[in-house]
Structures are given as C-alpha cells and as structure tokens.
Amino acid sequence: MRRTLAMSILSTVVLAGISVGAVPASASPTTAVTQAAAVGAPFGSLDLGEYVPGGIGVKGWVAFKGSPQKSLKVHIKLDGKLLTGLSANQPRPDVAKKYPGVTTNTGFSSFLPTKLAAGTHTVCAFAIKPAGAPGGNPNIGCRSFTTGDSPIGTFAASALREKSFHVVGSVGDPNTVRAIKVKVTLDGKVQNTVTANKKSFVYEEKGKKTTVSAYGHGFDLALKLPSGGKAHQLCVTAINATSTPGGNVTGCISVK
C-alpha cells in the first residue's frame, strides 16, 4: 500500500526551484521584447530569479535576430552589483519557435552560491549585445524576493510504503553558503541529525522517481514506519548556522 505525498515548507517564503515541480519554461513576452526582436537588438526574459538554499537560482533566455547567429552572454546583477556572467547556450526550442530566425540555444540556468542579509533583494539580467549590434546591453528582466535570518527550505515524505519511507528535502541559512544540519523526529522521538549537504535527492511518488537538484544543501533519510496504520507526526528542524543571526525553524507533516 502506498501513501499520499505530504509536503511542508520551513518558512513563510515560498521557494521556486527547490520544491518538487516544474519551473516555468518561459515568461510571456513584453512589448519591449517584441520591439527589440523587430529592430535586431538583443532581447530575452529572466524567467526565474529567487533564493534557493545556499544562493540564488536564475533561469531565462536571451536571443538576437541578426548575423552572425550565435549564443549570447548575460550578466546577472544582485541589488545593482554584478554577480556573474553566464552563457545563454542551453536549448530553448520554445523561444526559437516563437521568434523565427534565432538560434535554438538561447537559454541559461544556473545556481549562484551567495550569502544574503535579511531583507528584500532584486536580481536582474542584462543581455550583452554582439559587436556592432544597435543599442546597449538591455535589461531583460528583474525578480525580487525577501529573506530573513533563519533557515528556509522544503521537505517531503517520499517512497511511502507499508513499513518505510524517506524524508527528503533541501534547507539553507541565507546568511551563509555553508551546509547546515537538520534534525528529524517522528512522533516526538529524534530519528537522526545530519548535515544537509547532498547535491541532489530523489523524490518518489506512486513509483515515479524524480531527481531534484539541491546544490549541496539536500538531505535524504530512510525511516521505518511504525505498524498500526495510524497517522504519525514527522517533523524536520533546520538548525541555524553557527555564529549567524536567526534561530532554528521546524516544520511538521502527518504521515500514515
């Protein structure tokens, strides 16, 4: 007998990119994007720009209708300061279909290790124009998010079976890029305390397995499920990093 997935977030901040689920393939084009495509300047979209445990996750695309056709560069800025440069060379057939005349490899997607102070932050992407292209290096989008001082993340009950299951997830403390520890309890009894430092974890539901990137901040623990068929309380405590502000955060779900 299999049991239903239960998921809980460890803070009030909802984090795209670390929970099980698809990231939007692309954003709806704006008028500015359409105009840029018409005149031959670089254009694109920042589809995702949010905090994930250990840093920032970004995803988007940038293209150019002109000659020569080649992948472009994109600069990522955090709160107005250059964070890194990326190559937009990943397959995005949806963009090529919408804008005939651009190369298929226009996408970029990356995890950027970054520690953040509590507050609201803005990540922006800038398309770097090819030599000789008109205009400057246009801003293709910005995303804002808010972090606190305490850990945040997600966890889920995975591979639920008659007598066992896994608790999987990803957690981080925004004040550091270091991996932090998680404590797992079942019905109030401590099952284990481990460092959440896995690069990925496998989430399984109804026999379907999905590998989820955790960027060195994931965990996966196998637990025994007491017999009897009744509901049990599963709790995960993300332990605040040493010598940083904030405190521990606990989330609980029911498993049966």
DSSP per residue, 11-74: SS---TTTSSSPPPS-PPPPHHHHHHHHHT--EEEEEEEEEETTEEEEEEEEE--SSS--PEEE
CB distance 58 to 75 below 8 Å:
no
Residue 21 is assigned to a structural domain of this protein:
no
Q: Give whole-number Cα distances, 63 to 34, 49, 88, in Å.
A: 12, 19, 8
Cβ-based neighbours of 193, under 8 Å, separated by 6 or more: 181, 182, 183, 184, 239
Q: What is the pLDDT of residue 169?
A: 92
Q: Are residues 154 and 191 in the same domain?
A: yes
Q: Are residues 158 and 76 in the same domain?
A: no
What's the domain count of the chain?
2
| pLDDT-derived band at 239, boundaries 50, 70, 90 | very high
Q: Are residues 143 and 161 in the same domain?
A: no
Token look-up 């720009």 returns: 49
Q: What is the CA radius of gyration of the chain?
A: 21
| pLDDT-derived band at 36, boundaries 50, 70, 90 | low
pTM greater than 0.85: no
* Count of C-beta atoms within a 10 Å radius of residue 57: 23
Q: Are residues 192 and 87 in the same domain?
A: no
Residue 80 is assigned to a structural domain of this protein:
yes
Q: Are residues 36 and 142 in the same domain?
A: yes
Pick 33 or 158 by higher pLDDT.
158
Residue after which a domain boundary falls, among 103, 132, 147: 147
Q: Which of 31-45, 84-98, 236-250 has the lowest mean pLDDT?
A: 31-45
Q: Are residues 37 and 142 in the same domain?
A: yes
* Percent of the chain residues topping a pLDDT of 90: 54
* Average pLDDT of span 82-96: 94
Residue 22 is assigned to a structural domain of this protein:
no
Distance from C-alpha of 137 to C-alpha of 62, rounded to nearest angstrom: 11
| pLDDT-derived band at 2, boundaries 50, 70, 90 | very low
Residue 190 is assigned to a structural domain of this protein:
yes
Residue after which a domain boundary falls, among 147, 177, 206: 147
CATH of the domain at 243: 2.60.40.10
DSSP state letter for 225: P
Residue 224 is assigned to a structural domain of this protein:
yes
Distance from C-alpha of 156 to C-alpha of 255, rounded to nearest angstrom: 10
Q: Are residues 126 and 205 in the same domain?
A: no
Give the structural domain span for 172: 7-16+149-255
Q: Are residues 132 and 165 in the same domain?
A: no
